Structure formats: structure tokens, C-alpha cells
Amino acid sequence: MGAGDISFSGNNRFASRLALYWSGFSGNVRGAVYVTVGALLLTCMAILVKFLGSRLDSFQILFFRSFVGLLFILPLALKQGWGICRTTIPMMHMTRGGIGILGNFCFFYSITHLLLADSMALQFSRPLFMILLAAAFLGETVGFKRGTATLVGFSGILIMTRPFGLGGGPATFDLGVLVGALGAFFGALVVVAIKQLSKTESTTVIMFYYAFWGAIFSLVPALLVWQTPTPAELGWLVLVGFFGIVGQTCITRGVSMADTTVVLPFDYLRIVYAAVFGFLMFGEVPGLWSLTGALVIVVSTLYILTLEARTKAKKRVTP
């Protein structure tokens, strides 16, 4: 046995011990770690988007985000065989891809035009829109508690826009806030689309077509505003795609292995990360009304998620 074999064997033993140690933690603990890491990676993606947005258009950044994601999915497709491309509902996948691109564009636009923490807070207003969509298209009953929490959450968005001169200042209407909220609405539509797709399609098929259509739909607008990136910018753009897909995978895995009410609050660390990095890297200091609006959105959405988790738990217990 050579020295290389000994080293390889030692690495295997270390990896096995590490895996055994990791598996000793409860699903909630492991899920919280996954979500925490995923939140940090997605914040890193947002930081790079904000940095690149000073020179490159949001559509161009979005194209690289989608294209790099597709490159990461392709090895999986090759490994499992191109049968993962088979689907009986191609138009549904295309629609989901188009909605996803609109949502991501709004998100990227808000990142480059708002404080980083404000943009992140607006993304977490998605559950508010999901309740409206569920009531409008799925016939779900909202209920007094969820309805009240939803109205309170939307008031948080209104506070952030300050259209009526809140705090004694002049009446304004921040387009970046409106676009950020619109991105959350598209994000809610994506969730509804995924719920429909998951009834017949595997996760791999959904991921593949999302990356595929995302790259296709973002290519044309990206070409219209194209500016050739420098080698350094090209490297950052690749990292945007890498952080995006790995971060989202971590959060998805964390949520799938743990109780929702336990791990989802860790996803809100994105707002904390964004506030810290926004101050350290861009000198951003959120104002009083921005902080107030973000707090209202976070509290109301967490309350709604807690209510929904309790309702699902009762349904599982009730025979």
C-alpha cells in the first residue's frame, strides 16, 4: 500500500466519522444549520448582485444567474440520463420559468436600487401574497387571524414606501420598494406553480426546466443591454449563479428535514446578514421607517407561517 493509499484511507475514515457525528444531531438541528448556511450564501449572492449592478444591467446579471445554474444542473441530467427532460406539461414548466424570471428581475432591481436589508425584507412578504392567491384561485378560507396578519404585513410595505409623508417628511413613492414587492408577488406565483408541478413532476425535472427556461427568457433582454464583463466581473457573475443554486438547495434541504416553525425563522437571518454587510461594505444605514416597515413584514409573516404550521399539525393529529 502506497503513501497515497494511506492518505486516501485516512480521509475516508475522517469523512465517515464526520458523517456519523453529523447524523447524531436531530433533524431540527441539522435543518437549522442548512437553512442558516443557505441564508448566508443567498445574502452573498445579493451582495455580488448589488456590487455588479453599478455597471451591469439587472437582466445581464440575471442571465448569468440562470445560465450558471443550468450548467450545474446539466451534470445531474447526464448522470441520470436525458429522460429527466421528459414531461407531459411543457407549457406549465415554461410558464413557471417566465414567472420566475420576472420575480428574480424584480429582486435584482430592488437590490441595486434599495438598501440591501430593505430589499431582503420585501422578499419575505411573499407569504402575504400567497394567502391572497390561495383565496382567489384555490378557494381557501383566509380566516380572521390570517386576514388581519396579512393586512398588517401589507401595511409594512406601505410604511417602507412612505407615500403619504410619514414622519413629517415629503410624500414620496419609492419605485424600488414597489418593484421589490412585485417580485415577492411573482415569487408567490412560483410557489403555487411548483405545488401544481410537484403533483406529477420530480424535483430534478422541475429544477432542470426552471434553469433552462430561465436562461432562455433572460438571454434576449440581456443581449439588448449587454456590456462585456471584465475577467473579474465574469468570475463574480459565476459566483452569483453558484451562491444562488447552492444556497437555495441548502434551504430546501433544511426545510425538508425539520419542522417548519423551527427552521424558517433562521431564513430570516438574511435580513440581519444584509443589514450587517450593507453597513460594512456599502455604508448603508436603514432609516427609522425602513426598519419599522421591515419589522412589521417580518413579524406578520412569521405569525402567518406559525398559524399554518399549527393548522397542518392539527390535521395530522385529527383522524
More confident call, 135 vs 81: 135
pTM for the structure as a whole: 0.78
Q: What is the pLDDT of residue 318?
A: 57
CB atoms within 10 A of CB 88: 7
Residue 104 falls in which region: left (phi positive, over 0), alpha (psi -120 to 50) or beta: alpha
Per-residue pLDDT band for 293 (boundaries 50, 70, 90) equals: confident
Residue 153: exposure state from Cβ atoms within 10 A (0-12, 13-18, ≥19): buried
Per-residue pLDDT band for 237 (boundaries 50, 70, 90) equals: very high
Q: What is the pLDDT of residue 165?
A: 47
Averaged pLDDT, 110-115? 89
Q: What is the pLDDT of residue 163?
A: 55
Are 237 and 118 in contact by the 8 Å Cβ rule? The answer is no
Residue 1: exposure state from Cβ atoms within 10 A (0-12, 13-18, ≥19): exposed
Averaged pLDDT, 280-287? 87
CB atoms within 10 A of CB 205: 21
Q: What is the pLDDT of residue 176?
A: 81
Helix residue ranges, H only, the chain: 3-23, 27-52, 58-80, 90-113, 116-123, 126-137, 144-161, 175-197, 203-224, 231-257, 260-267, 269-282, 288-317
Cell (9 digits) for 236: 463574480
Give the type of residue at 129: F
**Above 50 in pLDDT, residue 252?**
yes
CA 248 to chain centre: 6
**Above 60 in pLDDT, residue 126?**
yes
From residue 114, alpha-carbon distances to 32, 118, 215, 282, 300 in Å are 29, 6, 25, 11, 22
**Above 50 in pLDDT, residue 166?**
no
From residue 33, alpha-carbon distances to 16, 36, 170 in Å are 19, 5, 44
More confident call, 77 vs 5: 77
Q: What is the pLDDT of residue 171?
A: 47
pLDDT, averaged across the chain: 81
Averaged pLDDT, 266-286? 87
CA dist 317 and 314 (Å) reads 5
**Above 90 in pLDDT, residue 231?**
yes
Quick: pLDDT tens for 56-93.
Answer: 998 899 999 888 888 887 777 777 666 667 778 888 88
Q: What is the pLDDT of residue 45?
A: 93
**Above 60 in pLDDT, residue 292?**
yes
**Above 90 in pLDDT, residue 236?**
yes
More confident call, 143 vs 99: 99
**Above 80 in pLDDT, residue 25?**
no
Are 54 and 108 in contact by the 8 Å Cβ rule? The answer is no
Quick: pLDDT tens for 198-210.
Answer: 778 877 787 788 8
What percent of the chain lies above the pLDDT cut of 90? 18
